[in-house]
Amino acid sequence: MWREPIYNLNRIIRLQAVLEIVINQTATALDLLADQSTQMRNAIYQHHIALDYLLAEEGGVCAKLNESNCCLQIDDNGKVVKQLTKEMRKLTHVPVQTWGGWNTDWFTSWLPQIGWLRMVFLFAVFFITALLTLACFALCLVALSRHLANQVVHQQMMALYQLVKTEDWGP
pLDDT for the residue 123: 85
pLDDT class of 96 with cuts at 50, 70, 90: confident
* Burial environment of residue 73 by CB neighbours within 10 A (0 to 12, 13 to 18, 19 or more): exposed
* Highest averaged pLDDT of the listed ranges 37-46, 96-105, 115-124: 37-46
Query: What's the chain's average pLDDT?
Result: 83
Least confident span in 35-44, 143-152, 157-166:
157-166
Determine the length of the chain.
171
Phi and psi of 74, rounded to 5°?
A: -120, 120
Within 13 Å and on the Cβ side, how many CA atoms surround 103?
A: 5
Q: What confidence tens digit (pLDDT) does each residue in 8-22 have? A: 888 888 898 899 999
Within 13 Å and on the Cβ side, how many CA atoms surround 153?
A: 6
Q: What confidence tens digit (pLDDT) does each residue in 34-64 have? A: 999 999 999 988 998 898 888 888 888 888 7
Q: Is the pLDDT of residue 148 over 60?
A: yes
- Measured CA to CA, the distance from residue 31 to residue 88 in angstroms comes to 12
Q: Is 4-96 CATH 1.10.287.210?
A: yes
pLDDT class of 107 with cuts at 50, 70, 90: low
- Measured CA to CA, the distance from residue 160 to residue 36 in angstroms comes to 109
Write the CA distances from 132 to 86, 108, 124, 125, integer angstroms.
58, 21, 12, 11
